[in-house]
A and B are shown apart, each in its own frame.
Chain A
């Protein structure tokens, strides 16, 4: 069986995690064996999906026969990556190294790469018809897709070559690192032992290169075959992010299959005439104007990026169970559910 991937992307705070879960519930109810991989769900959503613990392995849902959920812990995944790609004794040293811990937490591509590799593992397992991935909220979101290339760069020894002046020397070369004139000044400012520790870390990291580089190529192949949904609202900041996916995604993956405007208000609320007096009428006028501007933003986006636009209505209470998640998709308009793999 071939697993299909559905990547749910978009800026922060637009409801990506909720919609990922909603797609998964509907797919499962359509008879597709579905895994949803989520990054940082609200507690009530995690409970609804049956994953309360960070880093949980795919867990079958207690009530929904075709639904599995997993919750990613980027730091734990990094440990797994080190153990997968580095020799055992190096992997232990890496995981304990403060530089590694810092890189795992702060190297911008690291969390993205960790999720991408987990995604690839789930797809390669060929256990599920559909794997829905809630992409991590890294700056820009697009980083999820460029992470494999960036990781290849990081561990590929570019920095190490700079530090050691070309070539990839053995561990011995590190002892004379700051004897080289170019590095003497850096050494005198920072202390020579610090530079040596950095070089040592990079050297260890480099042992993961062959495995990681091979894996990165496979991950990029998965990206090209995946379906992608961009989630946004009509607000300017998320719209800017959404446009970025349309502009840059074709370079690193397949072009987005759909854009979903979450929190859409009914256009029937709009009435250009001045409102009648009274609190309720004025309230309708404000929300109606908002609905009108939303419709304009959707139209503009559709024309600018020549794409189909789907909408999901504004649900003021966040969904807390599978039925209310599925209801979001049922109330949506314009979603190409068959193309996204949610409907067989």
Chain B
């Protein structure tokens, strides 16, 4: 499951991760958990559907459509018969999903875990909720367990908690940038996760990192005023800022800033390539 503050490239990283696994010969499912558009365009599609679509050999993708996921959850996981899944009972669940804490999130996470366990895929990459909502998502099964103390819903929630806490099943990656706000929020989330026992040690991926120019400061100073000097100063100042903020993050993969404003599909493909090259 991939999360990260808005604007850090969460969907691009999710798509790149999926592509990288496909290159390694694995059968991969990419899931858009909240908003499907970001993942779709990074996979070169306009939209994703609830039914898994083949994007290329070895890679399928789907988007969680909550009403359909709710119906499937009630059918497959809770065992509610079809006739009562329609009409007023469905609306009661819908009402509940809109108001009761944890229910929406459990339905979305339940879909991801169910796909991960059904044996069709070697890897499920979930383009998850933004960082601000990851806590309520990860905690959702526990929240539901506290609300519903009996029956299948309770059992399902317990099943989810177990799978999420097991590092051989679930890993969480937080995408960050080496800038003040993303780093601050990533550190806050890591600190919160420490005390929660919800997922095993999360991975932090730093996106859009720049390399230093490897030119001596004295040589830069000697450059004549003009574009070359300005561009070198901008670059080195950004590198300096990035180094300052990334020093606070735990070690983890660093992906490069990609020059040239590529299309989303190009970005995902390039990141996957760079990643494979180490």
Contacts and interface: CB of A to CB of B under 8 A. Distances in A.
Interface of A: 11-14, 40, 42-44, 98-99, 101-103, 105-107, 137, 139-140, 154, 159-160, 162-163, 165, 180, 182-183, 185-186, 188-191, 194-195, 198, 201-202, 234-238, 240, 265-266, 268-269, 271, 279-281, 283-284, 286-290, 293-294, 297, 314, 316-318
Contact of B230 (A43, A159, A240, A266): A266
Q: Which 9 A-B pairs have the closest CB atoms?
A: A13-B7, A12-B6, A102-B101, A182-B88, A12-B7, A316-B237, A293-B261, A159-B95, A162-B91
Given A99-B99, A198-B96, A289-B260, 15 more contacts: A101-B101, A159-B95, A182-B89, A191-B148, A191-B149, A191-B151, A266-B230, A269-B227, A280-B228, A283-B228, A283-B231, A284-B227, A286-B260, A287-B259, A293-B260
B184 A288 contact: no
Interface stretch (B35-43, B49-57, B113-121, B161-169): B35-43
Interface in B63-102: 74, 78, 80, 84, 87-89, 91-96, 98-102
Of A43, A139, A289, A293, chain B has the most CB atoms within 10 Å of the CB of: A139
A237 B88 contact: no
B122 interface: no
B180 A314 contact: no
Interface string B171-187: 00000010111101000
Of A43, A297, A316, chain B has the most CB atoms within 10 Å of the CB of: A316
A190 B96 contact: yes
A101 B136 CA distance: 12
Contact of A317 (B93, B182, B215, B241): B241
A24 B272 CA distance: 42
Contacts of B213: 279-280, 283
Given A236-B41, A240-B37, A290 B96 contact: no
Contacts, number: 175
B101 A106 contact: yes
B241 A316 contact: yes
Given A186-B93, A195-B92, A236 B263 contact: yes
B205 interface: no
Contacts of B228: 280-281, 283-284
Given A99-B100, A185-B89, A194-B100, A42 B180 contact: yes
A235 B37 contact: no
A12 B5 contact: yes
Given A140-B35, A316-B237, A202 B230 contact: no
B141 interface: no
A159 B7 contact: no
A238 B264 CA distance: 12
A201 B98 CA distance: 12
A192 B24 CA distance: 50
B7 A316 contact: no
Contacts of B179: 318
22 contacts: A13-B6, A14-B7, A42-B181, A42-B184, A102-B100, A106-B104, A106-B105, A106-B133, A107-B99, A159-B95, A162-B92, A182-B88, A185-B80, A186-B96, A189-B74, A191-B150, A198-B100, A236-B264, A266-B230, A280-B228, A288-B231, A318-B179
Contact of A288 (B34, B93, B177, B227): B227
Given A102-B101, A198-B100, A236-B261, A280 B6 contact: no
Of A42, A99, A237, chain B has the most CB atoms within 10 Å of the CB of: A237
